[in-house]
Amino acid sequence: MIAADDILTRIRTQKPVVHHLTNWVTIYDCAQILKSIGASPVMAHAPEEVADMVGIASALVLNIGTLTSDFVDAMKVAACAANQKGIPVVLDACGVGATPFRDQKALELLTAARINIIKGNASEIARLAGRQVTTKGVDAAEVKDNLQELASTLSGQFSAVVVITGREDLVTDGRKSYRVANGHELMTSVVGTGCMAASVIGAFAAVEADWSLAAACALADYGIAAELAAMHSAGPAAFKQQLFDSFYSLTSAIIRERVRIATATA
């Protein structure tokens, strides 16, 4: 039995600090989604302080959406500090495949430190796994490969949990896999729903040591909040507001009623 409600309850009780080095587009939303679920987000990127900030954090979330070389250098410092402390490091491979620079920097991050959870849409993960992709910037492009195989390949390569978001989300740690069917199509009309997913995964992994389970439950709960939000939304902006608020007041009963996580052997 997967405890998607239990992990959320732990977040609300423990209020884990989740340190971010993220992009300037959705930085507010990454913080607010965590605040909405009871976690304590902190955003800081000065190279002089990122290691210390990791020192008070229970998870680290990296997002390269608006990366620069210096910013990625600070990410490396933070990730190494997180590795030493043993807290989970999530990488949102935002926009990988769009430019060679982005691909290179993502790979630098993956080799400079241990990234525990790699998250992307289908084309981002395909690119990280070495496939050629044609992307449209930060939006997912079509990928012909078998996604489960792609995820397993990448997972094995970096000993990481791999998360592919999409109509159905896929999570694998190389041994066990999950498919999460929660969510709503309106998410694709809102900037930042992918980034927020990575932040939520970070918060779940902060309080649950089984990181693939944590990621699957994070995506399920987030998707359920989105389903509830979509019920009363005239468009993407109303939907986003409701997403924060439905996640804020999400109950264990509703989670147990709506959760759609399927398990499988990888």
* Binders of a second copy in range 237-266 (CB under 8 A): 237-238, 240-246, 248-249
The minimum distance between CB 137 and a second copy, in angstroms, equals 3
CA distance 51 to 31: 19
Strands 59-63 and 89-92: parallel
Does residue number 69 form part of the binding site for a second copy (CB under 8 A)? yes
Of 138, 151, 206, 219, the residue at the interface with a second copy (CB under 8 A) is 138
Cβ 80 vs Cβ 112: under 8 Å: yes
Of 13, 52, 256, 263, the residue at the interface with a second copy (CB under 8 A) is 52
* Binders of a second copy in range 12-41 (CB under 8 A): 15, 17, 19, 23-29, 31-32, 35-36, 40-41
CA distance 100 to 82: 27
CA distance 44 to 152: 32
Does residue number 191 form part of the binding site for a second copy (CB under 8 A)? yes
Q: Quick one: which of 182, 163, 183, 165 has its CA closest to 173?
A: 163
Does residue number 101 form part of the binding site for a second copy (CB under 8 A)? yes
Widest distance between CA atoms in the chain: 46
Helix (H) or strand (E) holding 155: helix 147-158
The minimum distance between CB 58 and a second copy, in angstroms, equals 10
Binding interface with a second copy (CB under 8 A)? 15, 17, 19, 23-29, 31-32, 35-36, 40-46, 48-49, 52-53, 56-57, 65-69, 95, 98-102, 135-139, 189-192, 234-238, 240-246, 248-249
